[in-house]
Amino acid sequence: MTRVEYLLIGHGIAGATLAAELRDRGHQVLVFDTPQPDSASRVAAGLMNPVAGKRFALAWRAAELLPAAAVFYRAQEQRLGQQFFHELPILKLFSSVGEQNSVLARSADQPWQDFVADTTGELPTRPGVRQELGGLSIRRGGYVRVEELLTALSTDGLRQGWLLYETFDWTQLVAQPDGSLIYAGRVHAQHVVCCEGAAAVHNPYFQWLPITPNQGEVLEVECAGLPAAEVLNKGAYVVPLGNHRFRVGATYRWPPFAEGTTVEARQELSQRLSEMTTQPFVVIGQRAGVRPAVRDRKPLLGTHPTATNVHIFNGLGSKGVMMAPRLAQVMSDWLEKGIEPWPEVNIRRYLTLYSPASASAGPASPASRS
C-alpha cells in the first residue's frame, strides 16, 4: 500500500501549484491526473492582467496575487530551466471616450497607479495597431506559458513518482474510522484534495457547491505586421507567442456547450482582432476548454462539512493563472496549520447549500463510507 499525506486529484494549474507548494513544505504528495489537451489550463492564454473590466478597476486582490504569481513562476523557471512567465506591458485600447474618462477618474487611485504607466501622455504610434482613441499601458502583468509549465512539471512528477496519469474513480475511495482514506485498496491518504477544475460538478463530495462551468475558445493566428512587445486588449486579448504568432481570446459560453471548437467563436475572435489591427492575419489554430467558474466569481477553498479529510481547491474561473500560486499558499496554510482561508474564497460561505441529503447517496458518499 502506498502511503501519502496528500492525495490530489487533478494537475491543472490548481493541482500543480498546490502540489508544488505542499512538496516545497516537505509533505508527501501523490497526484492523479487524466491528461487532456483541452483542459482549461492547457488551452488558456495564460494572461495575468491586474487591471480588468470596463471600468479599469484593479482586479480582486491583484496587488497581492500578482507578485506571488511572479515569484512562483520564476521559481519554476529556475528549477526546470525553461522560461514560462513573459512579463509584458498590456496595452488596453480604448473603444470610447467614456473609457478614456474612466481612466482619468482613476488616475490618482492607489495602488491602481502602481500598475499603470503614465496616463497623461500621448500614446506612441504602434505600426499595425488601431489606436485612434488612445489607450492605457498596464504594467507588471504578462502571460505564462501554462501548457509548457504543466508539461515540464508533469514530466518531473512522472519521473519522480509523485504524479500518476490515471483517472481517479470516486467510487473506489473508502473513508476510514480515523478520517483518512484508502483508494482502490492501494493508496492510503491522510487527506484528499479535489483540484479537478470543471469536472468537480461530478464530484460526489462537492456537487452542492455552485460551480457554473463556462466554455471558452481561443485562436492562434499568424500576423506578420503586429508588434510582439506587448499584449493588446480590446474586447479580446492578443498575446504575442513569438515567430509572428499570437493567441487571441477568449469567448464565453454558458451551457449547453458545443462539441469542441465552433465557427461562431472563430468569427467573433477574428472580428475582434481586426478591430485592433490593420494587418492581415491567418488563423492557424483554435482550441476550446471549460473554465471552473463559480456563482460569485470567487474561488472555492476549504474542507467538506462532514468528511473532514476531504478538501477542495477549485473555482479559479477566468483568472486561474494569476490567482493559483498565492491561493495554493492559502490552501496549504489551511491544510497544514489550520489557518482559515480568506472569507471570500472559503467554501463556508456556501454552507447553507449543503445538507447530507443533497450529497451523493452513492458509494463515495463520505457519511456512508466511514
Ligand X SMILES: Cc1cc2nc3c(=O)[nH]c(=O)nc-3n(C[C@H](O)[C@H](O)[C@H](O)COP(=O)(O)OP(=O)(O)OC[C@H]3O[C@@H](n4cnc5c(N)ncnc54)[C@H](O)[C@@H]3O)c2cc1C
Contact residues for ligand X (CB under 6 A)? 9-15, 32-34, 36, 39-41, 43-47, 167-168, 195-199, 216-218, 249-250, 289, 291-292, 314, 316-322
Residue 64 to residue 327: CA distance in whole angstroms: 10
Measured from the CB atom, the residue of 36 and 119 that comes closer to ligand X is 36
Least spacing, CB of residue 342 vs ligand X, in Å:
18
Residue 295 to residue 354: CA distance in whole angstroms: 15
Q: Among 292, 160, 141, 283, which residue's Cα sits nearest to residue 218?
A: 283
Structural element, H or E, at residue 183: strand 181-183
Least spacing, CB of residue 121 vs ligand X, in Å:
28
Which residues lie below 8 Å from residue 332, measured CB to CB, with a gap of 6+? 18, 21, 22, 25
Measured from the CB atom, the residue of 109 and 295 that comes closer to ligand X is 295
> Is residue 250 a contact partner of residue 218, using CB atoms and an 8 Å limit?
yes
Measured from the CB atom, the residue of 113 and 172 that comes closer to ligand X is 172
Measured from the CB atom, the residue of 133 and 182 that comes closer to ligand X is 182
Measured from the CB atom, the residue of 100 and 262 that comes closer to ligand X is 262
Least spacing, CB of residue 290 vs ligand X, in Å:
6
> Is residue 314 a contact partner of residue 195, using CB atoms and an 8 Å limit?
yes
Least spacing, CB of residue 69 vs ligand X, in Å:
9
> Is residue 301 a contact partner of residue 346, using CB atoms and an 8 Å limit?
yes
Measured from the CB atom, the residue of 13 and 221 that comes closer to ligand X is 13
> Directed axis angle between helix 62-80 and helix 13-24, to 10°?
70
Least spacing, CB of residue 62 vs ligand X, in Å:
12
Query: 194 vs 14, 309, 337, CA distance in Å?
Result: 9, 11, 19
Measured from the CB atom, the residue of 69 and 129 that comes closer to ligand X is 69
Least spacing, CB of residue 298 vs ligand X, in Å:
12
Q: Is residue 154 classed exposed, middle or buried when 0-12, 13-18 and 19+ CB atoms within 10 A define those classes?
A: middle
Least spacing, CB of residue 196 vs ligand X, in Å:
3
Residue 56 to residue 50: CA distance in whole angstroms: 9
Q: Which residue has the CB atom at the shortest distance from ligand X?
A: 12
